[in-house]
Amino acid sequence: MTAPTADVSIVVPTFNEADNINELLGRIAAALPPETRAEVVFADDSTDRTCEVIEEAAASCPIPVVLHHRPVPAGGLGGAVVEGIARASAPWIVVIDADLQHPPELIPALIARGETSGAELVVASRYAAGGDRSGLDGGYRKLVSSMSTLVTKSLFPRALSGLSDPMSGFFAIRRTAVDRAATEDEGLQPLGYKILLELAVRCRPRGIAEVPYAFGERHAGESKSTAREGMRFLRHLITLRTADARARAVVFGLIGLSGFVPNLALLWVLTTTAPGLHYAPAEIIANQAGLLWNFALIDSFVYRNQRRHHRRSVRLLTFAAVGNADLVARIPLAALLIGTADMAPLPATALSMAIVFMARFLVVDRWLYRRLRKQETTATPQLAPDPVPDPVPDPVPDPLG
């Protein structure tokens, strides 16, 4: 591994921020002490003139600038941050928005706090003592921010212990912590704009510190916080929470329980409206309703990041085959309960479903989607220790040489 060419890499994800670039670079340059070796890495998804403005501003900026325009904005803002980090060279990486709601003047304080405390993650917090979130537009966004923070901290009490603002987009993290996540099977899998949550949960930073700050007014442009990004955030929460096999089993079981409803409802319809229909074919037909329900939820939420290498139809057929295979055990078991224990079809079916649940979970989790995870690890970009950035054309120097 080559020696770093900078002390701090400032990663800025951008989407149509042309009117903010000059002010941002000017304030970053003014904020950093003269002895600090720094670089600014733009990870850009813009459809306006942002790239052109960055190139023009970089020509007169005293800090080296790296511009990476992503042809495909995979993972949203979080994906941009991860790709920006992959092109950063310094041991300290600061992530900051381009809209100037995050004050660049706080960058030296974040690094200093990390150096003095030994923490691998230092978060600029709106909720720490002395912080202020008044820059949020209106009561609705403040309510959403507060609720999101509450839900997130309740889902990850250990990983986010001591962190008052897990929704912050302004923080400094040591590369050693980021590289730790890159060695995991799933690596970093950002989705949406809450990249700090991804890093805090998957990187397991050794020590977290905070620096209070006042969340400012947007300098120019429009907020990227939309209903679509909110849905991405919810899916991301589920993905992170189910990264552990025990958590996946719980969610799998809850979804399976919810599948009882369409299954038993259709069974009731078949056995009451078609009294001549034998129980066995009625249960086979009803089972398909529960399977479709379970697959839709499991494939869309629990294993959302492990479904890229097979068509949905193939996954559905495989899932259905596994689900129907348990009928080989479940229907005889239900028939035994009906015949010997004098149980009605509905409770007998429910009990047999519970008995075979764990076997089904192990097959789906350890075989069907585990196989997809293994394939995906070779296709998911990892954070290389010696990244090669996309340089801004001369006269701006390439910080990685």
Q: Cβ–Cβ contacts within 10 Å for residue 224, how many?
A: 19
Q: How many CA atoms lie within 13 A of 198 on its CB side?
A: 26
Burial (CB < 10 A; 0-12, 13-18, 19+), residue 316, is middle
pLDDT tens for the chain, residues 1 to 401: 456 678 999 999 999 999 999 999 999 999 999 999 999 999 999 999 999 999 999 999 999 999 999 988 887 788 899 899 999 989 999 999 998 989 999 999 999 999 999 999 999 998 888 887 665 555 555 666 677 777 777 777 777 777 888 888 899 999 999 888 765 545 676 655 578 888 888 888 889 999 999 887 654 555 555 556 666 666 666 666 666 666 677 777 788 778 888 888 888 888 888 777 777 788 888 888 888 998 888 887 777 666 555 677 888 888 888 877 777 777 788 888 888 888 888 888 888 877 777 777 777 877 777 655 444 443 334 443 333 344 443 333 332 23
- The two tokens of residue 210 are 């905070």
Rounded to an integer, what distance in angstroms lies between the CA atom of residue 117 and that of residue 111?
10
Q: What is the pLDDT of residue 305?
A: 61
**How is the chain split into domains, by residue range?**
8-241, 245-377
- Strand 121-125 relative to strand 208-212: parallel, antiparallel, unpaired? parallel
φ and ψ at 381, to 5 degrees?
-60, 135
- The two tokens of residue 100 are 């100037």
Q: What is the pLDDT of residue 379?
A: 38
The CA angle 255-261-266, to the nearest 5 degrees, is 135
Residue 44 host element (H or E): strand 38-44
CA 358 to chain centroid, in Å, comes to 27
Rounded to an integer, what distance in angstroms lies between the CA atom of residue 25 and that of residue 354?
60
What are the CB-based long-range contacts (under 8 Å, 24+) for 50-56? 50/14, 50/15, 50/16, 50/17, 50/18, 50/21, 52/18, 53/18, 53/21, 53/22, 54/14, 54/21, 54/392, 55/392, 55/393, 55/396
Quick one: how many helices (H) and strands (E) in the chain? 14, 7
The alpha-carbon radius of gyration of the chain (Å, integer) is: 26
Q: Is 41 helix (H, G, I), strand (E, B) or coil?
A: strand
Residue 173 host element (H or E): strand 171-174
pTM to 2 decimal places: 0.62
Residues sharing a CB contact under 8 Å with residue 294, sequence separation 6 or more, in sequence order = 255, 256, 258, 259, 319, 323
Rounded to an integer, what distance in angstroms lies between the CA atom of residue 398 and that of residue 378?
29
Does the domain formed by 8-241 have CATH 3.30.230.70?
no
Burial (CB < 10 A; 0-12, 13-18, 19+), residue 218, is middle
With tokens 């989407």, the residue in question is 15
Nearest to 9 by CA among 39, 36, 50: 39
Rounded to an integer, what distance in angstroms lies between the CA atom of residue 252 and that of residue 362?
10
